[in-house]
């Protein structure tokens, strides 16, 4: 029986400064600090899993551009359970752990709003004419890429070889609905204009089938083994092939379909001949062909289009749902979400098959393609006119008034009130609830946090670490009452049963 | 949320696109499908009418100066 698919998404945003020159690390730091500055106390990220005494408190900058910014400290944990930080010269938000695909969509939208609020706060501090602008995309069109990574909880017992081989077939072919669209080609050895328009932002940057890298020689399947939870029981699949989506439905289907395919792999429900014979060339050729006619070779020697492989995966998923159910991707109150993922998956594949423009309100690469071609037709642009690339970039602009994706009226799943709430309130059905609620209640006493622990300063004696090795504990159902009863962190630790001895820092009290 | 996914929200594009009830329900037949397609086309035309006010004024400079350090 497949494990519940706890999942999340982490997005690195493109960043530029206008009206002045700045190092992107500094600009990113200013952004994160501008947001942090709106709060009385931000809690830092704990990098040192084994050293509870070392903590990184968030810093609030008084001046917009101090000569030296302690960038390694620009790393905060929010009361919604998310992490907001500077990574590789980009501002990045990791959503809290979510228990459904729709929840990932909601917290990804909250992350966008956090980025927008940061821009407003930072730009208000800058002189007139100076501006920091961010983009939710994955490439600059000049060979530099930055990621939008997904994470899924898996059973440690699932053989990794089988997992890698089968999920690769999904990763290569799901591009038809996850692709955010890109003008030009950035694949090494190919000229920019050799592919006027392609489906994915990221496909050009993949050079290996499997491996540990995320910044060089990127692999389709990333083997990073850092579960951020009990390593004897779980694996965290770190997915680096995805595009950052502006379409909420695209994010929903990207996460939902992948969670279902992973559950099918865990339950050994997929025929092994779904594997692709040559995944890398398949990745590139699917992305480089917006007509969707390119075929990929399977290990059984047959060739199929990406849409055909996706339709086969969908039909298997429908059978899987009928025989096993989809409770592993739902939580109480969201029954029916599995069915919704399947129906959305079918509608989009059938739409792409008949006429992609019919799904332009849900699939980013189609929305962007139609916009660029309509603009080009109206103004008589050649295929290589630089304005096409400008439209491509501006599709992802995080300024609401400038964002072309926003103006296209893509279909949505959540309203602004729900998104506003998700900026500060954590998901209730994962350990993110415990993290977020502790931060909200005791911002001055939680001195550091990371995915699998919180460190408290209770005032008398050493810092106290509370481990959270179970992603599906620490939920509202399990600790909500306990948190209500605890007036202080001291009460909380007493209620959790920690005895305060040295090894208690490292021992899971077992109540969450 | 479940039922909402099928709803076209007009919140941010309300000024561009008059809301016409449920005609963007996911198409189950060719007629509905082409109706949805033509509505999208109308929306696109409206956007094109005003897009020049939104676009970066110098596309070439903008594209040239959009340079990022690689990330993950």
Average pLDDT over chain A reads 90
Q: What is the mean pLDDT of residues A35-52?
A: 62
B-chain residue closest to A411, CA distance: B8
Residue A2 lies in a domain: no
Q: Which of B62, B5, B66, B56 is nearest to A340 (CA)?
A: B5
Residue A165 lies in a domain: yes
Residue A234 lies in a domain: yes
Give the structural domain span for A314. Answer: 139-145+153-412
Residue A34 lies in a domain: yes
Burial class from Cβ neighbours inside 10 Å (0-12, 13-18, 19+) for residue A499 reads exposed
Q: What is the mean pLDDT of residues A406-420?
A: 96
Query: Among residues 413-452 of chain A, which lie with CB inside 8 Å of chain B?
Result: 413-416
What is the per-residue pLDDT across A337-381, written as a single tens digit (0 to 9) for each?
A: 999 999 999 999 999 999 999 999 999 999 999 999 999 999 999
Name the domain boundary from A391, A412, A433: A412
Q: Is A22 on the interface with B (CB under 8 A)?
A: no
Q: What is the mean pLDDT of residues A32-50?
A: 71
Q: How confident is the model at residue A512 (pLDDT cuts 50, 70, 90)?
A: very low
Name the domain boundary from A412, A431, A446: A412
Distance CA A411, CA A488 (A): 44
User: Bridge partners of A86?
Assistant: A91
Distance CA A359, CA A369 (A): 12
Residues A255 and A130 in one domain: no
Residue A220 has pLDDT above 90, yes or no: yes
Residue that wins the pLDDT comparison between A469 and A334: A469
CA A189 to the chain's CA centroid: 30
Catalytic residues of A: 87
* Inter-chain residue contact A400 with B36, CB threshold 8 Å: no
- The vertex-B62 CA angle with A64 and A175, nearest 5°, equals 100
B-chain residue closest to A241, CA distance: B72
Print the SS3 string covering A70-117.
CHHHCEEECCCCCEEEEECCEEEEECCCECCHHHHHHHHHHHHHHHHH
What is the per-residue pLDDT across A68-124, written as a single tens digit (0 to 9) for each?
A: 344 455 889 999 999 999 988 999 999 999 999 999 999 999 999 999 999 999 999
Distance CA A300, CA A18 (A): 53
Q: Is the dihedral of CA A373, A375, A380, A381 positive or negative?
A: negative
A contacts of B47 (beta carbons < 8 Å): 371, 404, 407-408
B-chain residue closest to A135, CA distance: B66
- The vertex-A422 CA angle with A420 and A424, nearest 5°, equals 90
Q: How confident is the model at residue A52 (pLDDT cuts 50, 70, 90)?
A: very low
What is the per-residue pLDDT across A307-345, written as a single tens digit (0 to 9) for each?
A: 999 999 999 999 999 999 999 999 888 889 999 999 999
Contact between A170 and A24 under an 8 Å Cβ cutoff? The reply is no
Q: How confident is the model at residue A449 (pLDDT cuts 50, 70, 90)?
A: very high
Contact between A13 and A92 under an 8 Å Cβ cutoff? The reply is yes
Distance CA A262, CA A341 (A): 14
Q: Which of A478, A401, A387, A394 is nearest to A432 (CA)?
A: A478
Q: How confident is the model at residue A433 (pLDDT cuts 50, 70, 90)?
A: very high
Which residue's entry shows tokens 């729709």? Answer: A102
In chain A, the percentage of residues whose pLDDT exceeds 70 is 91
Residue A3 lies in a domain: no
* Inter-chain residue contact B37 with A409, CB threshold 8 Å: no
Residues A111 and A159 in one domain: no
First vs last Cα of chain A: how many Å apart? 23
* Inter-chain residue contact A371 with B66, CB threshold 8 Å: no
For A321, the enclosing helix (H) or strand (E) is helix A306-324
How many other C-beta atoms lie within 10 A of the C-beta of residue A428? 17
Name the token pair of A225. 């083994």
First vs last Cα of chain B: how many Å apart? 32
- Domain count along chain A: 2
Q: How confident is the model at residue A510 (pLDDT cuts 50, 70, 90)?
A: very low
Residues A401 and A421 in one domain: no
Residue A458 has pLDDT above 50, yes or no: yes
Q: How confident is the model at residue A18 (pLDDT cuts 50, 70, 90)?
A: very high
User: What's the pLDDT score for residue A41?
Assistant: 64
User: What's the pLDDT score for residue B36?
Assistant: 62
Residue A103 lies in a domain: yes
User: What's the pLDDT score for residue A441?
Assistant: 96
Distance CA A192, CA A313 (A): 33
User: What's the pLDDT score for residue A228?
Assistant: 94
Residue A501 has pLDDT above 50, yes or no: no
* Inter-chain residue contact B45 with A374, CB threshold 8 Å: yes
Residue that wins the pLDDT comparison between A465 and A69: A465
User: Bridge partners of A132?
Assistant: A17
Distance CA A277, CA A253 (A): 25
Residues A114 and A181 in one domain: no
Residues A470 and A363 in one domain: no
- Residue partners of A393: CB distance under 8 A and separation at least 6: A135, A137, A141, B62, B63, B66
Query: Among residues 66-105 of chain A, which lie with CB inside 8 Å of chain B?
Result: 87-90, 92, 102
Residues A275 and A357 in one domain: yes
How many other C-beta atoms lie within 10 A of the C-beta of residue A21? 6
Residues A343 and A271 in one domain: yes
The whole-number mean pLDDT for each consecutive block of 10 residues of chain B, a chain of 72 residues, reads 44 36 38 60 82 90 94 79
Q: Which of A414, A470, A485 is nearest to A153 (CA)?
A: A470
User: What's the pLDDT score for residue B53?
Assistant: 86
SS3 A397: strand
Q: Which of A178, A306, A292, A283 is nearest to A220 (CA)?
A: A283
Contact between A361 and A409 under an 8 Å Cβ cutoff? The reply is yes
Contact between A101 and A330 under an 8 Å Cβ cutoff? The reply is no
User: What's the pLDDT score for residue A57?
Assistant: 23
Q: What is the mean pLDDT of residues A223-249?
A: 95
Distance CA A224, CA A235 (A): 10
Distance from CA of B53 to the nearest CA of A (A): 9
Residues A165 and A53 in one domain: no
A contacts of B5 (beta carbons < 8 Å): 249, 252, 340, 344, 411, 413
Residues A363 and A453 in one domain: no
User: What's the pLDDT score for residue A502?
Assistant: 35
Distance CA A407, CA A416 (A): 16
pTM: 0.89
Give the Å distances, CA to CA, from A9 to A92, A179, A291, A313, A450. Answer: 10, 16, 29, 23, 16
User: What's the pLDDT score for residue A81?
Assistant: 97
Give the ipTM. 0.89
Residues A349 and A422 in one domain: no
For A374, the enclosing helix (H) or strand (E) is helix A364-379
Distance CA A361, CA A407 (A): 11
Residue A59 has pLDDT above 50, yes or no: no
- Give me the helix-helix angle, A279-287 and A160-173, nearest 10°: 20
Residue A512 lies in a domain: yes
For B19, the enclosing helix (H) or strand (E) is none
User: What's the pLDDT score for residue A474?
Assistant: 94
Name the token pair of A217. 């020689």
Residues A214 and A174 in one domain: yes
Distance CA A175, CA A167 (A): 13
Residues A385 and A341 in one domain: yes
In chain A, the percentage of residues whose pLDDT exceeds 90 is 82
Name the domain boundary from A360, A378, A412: A412
SS3 A238: strand
Longest dimension (CA), chain A: 75
* Inter-chain residue contact A375 with B51, CB threshold 8 Å: yes
Residue A193 has pLDDT above 90, yes or no: yes
User: What's the pLDDT score for residue A69?
Assistant: 40
């Amino acid at each position: 029986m497949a494990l519940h698919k706890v999942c999340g998404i982490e997005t690195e945003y493109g960043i530029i400064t206008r009206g002045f020159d700045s190092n992107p690390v500094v600009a990113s730091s200013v952004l994160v600090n501008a947001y942090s500055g709106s709060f009385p106390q931000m809690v830092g990220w704990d990098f040192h899993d084994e050293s509870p005494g070392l903590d990184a408190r968030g810093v609030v900058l008084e001046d917009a551009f101090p000569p030296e910014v302690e960038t390694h400290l620009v790393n905060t944990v929010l009361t919604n359970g998310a992490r907001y930080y500077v990574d590789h010269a980009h501002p990045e938000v990791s959503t809290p752990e979510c228990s459904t695909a729709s929840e990932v969509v909601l917290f990804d939208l909250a992350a966008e709003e956090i980025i927008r609020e940061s821009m407003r706060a930072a730009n208000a501090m800058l002189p007139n004419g100076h501006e920091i602008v961010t983009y939710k995309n994955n490439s600059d069109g000049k060979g530099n890429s930055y990621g939008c990574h997904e994470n899924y909880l898996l059973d440690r017992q699932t053989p990794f070889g089988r997992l890698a081989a089968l999920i690769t077939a999904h990763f290569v072919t799901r591009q038809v609905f996850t692709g955010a669209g890109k003008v030009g080609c950035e694949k090494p050895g190919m000229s920019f204009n050799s592919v006027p328009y392609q489906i994915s932002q990221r496909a050009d940057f993949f050079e290996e089938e499997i491996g540990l890298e995320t910044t060089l020689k990127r692999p389709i399947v990333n083997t990073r083994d850092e579960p951020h939870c009990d390593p004897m029981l779980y694996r965290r699949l770190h997915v680096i092939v995805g595009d950052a989506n502006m379409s909420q439905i695209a994010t929903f289907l990207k996460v939902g379909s992948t969670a279902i395919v992973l559950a099918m792999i865990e339950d050994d429900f997929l025929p092994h001949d779904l594997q692709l014979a040559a995944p890398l060339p398949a990745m590139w050729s699917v992305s480089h062909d917006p007509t969707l006619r390119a075929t990929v070779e399977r290990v059984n020697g047959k060739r199929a289009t990406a849409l055909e492989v996706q339709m086969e995966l969908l039909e298997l998923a429908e059978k899987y749902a009928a025989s096993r159910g989809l409770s592993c991707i739902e939580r109480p109150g969201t029954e029916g979400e599995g069915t919704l993922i399947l129906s959305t998956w079918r509608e989009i594949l059938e739409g792409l098959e008949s006429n992609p423009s019919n799904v332009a309100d849900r699939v980013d690469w189609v929305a962007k393609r139609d916009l660029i071609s309509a603009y080009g037709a109206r103004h008589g642009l050649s295929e290589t006119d630089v304005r096409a690339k400008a439209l491509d970039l501006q599709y992802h602009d995080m300024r609401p008034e400038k964002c072309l994706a926003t103006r296209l009226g893509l279909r949505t799943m959540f309203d602004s009130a729900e998104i506003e709430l998700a900026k500060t309130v954590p998901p209730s059905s994962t350990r993110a609830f415990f993290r977020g609620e502790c931060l909200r209640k005791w911002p001055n006493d939680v001195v550091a946090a990371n995915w699998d622990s919180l460190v408290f300063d209770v005032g008398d004696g050493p810092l106290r670490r509370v481990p959270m090795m179970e992603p599906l504990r620490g939920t509202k159902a399990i600790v909500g009452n306990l948190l209500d009863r605890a007036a202080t962190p001291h009460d909380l630790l007493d209620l959790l049963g920690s005895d305060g001895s040295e090894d208690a820092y490292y021992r899971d009290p077992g109540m969450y | 949320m479940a039922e909402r996914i099928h709803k076209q929200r007009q919140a941010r594009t309300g000024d561009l696109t008059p809301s016409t009830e449920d005609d963007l329900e996911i198409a189950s037949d060719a007629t509905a499908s082409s109706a949805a397609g033509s509505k999208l086309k109308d929306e696109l035309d409206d956007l094109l009418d005003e897009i020049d006010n939104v676009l970066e004024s110098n596309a070439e400079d903008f594209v040239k100066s959009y340079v990022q350090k690689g990330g993950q």
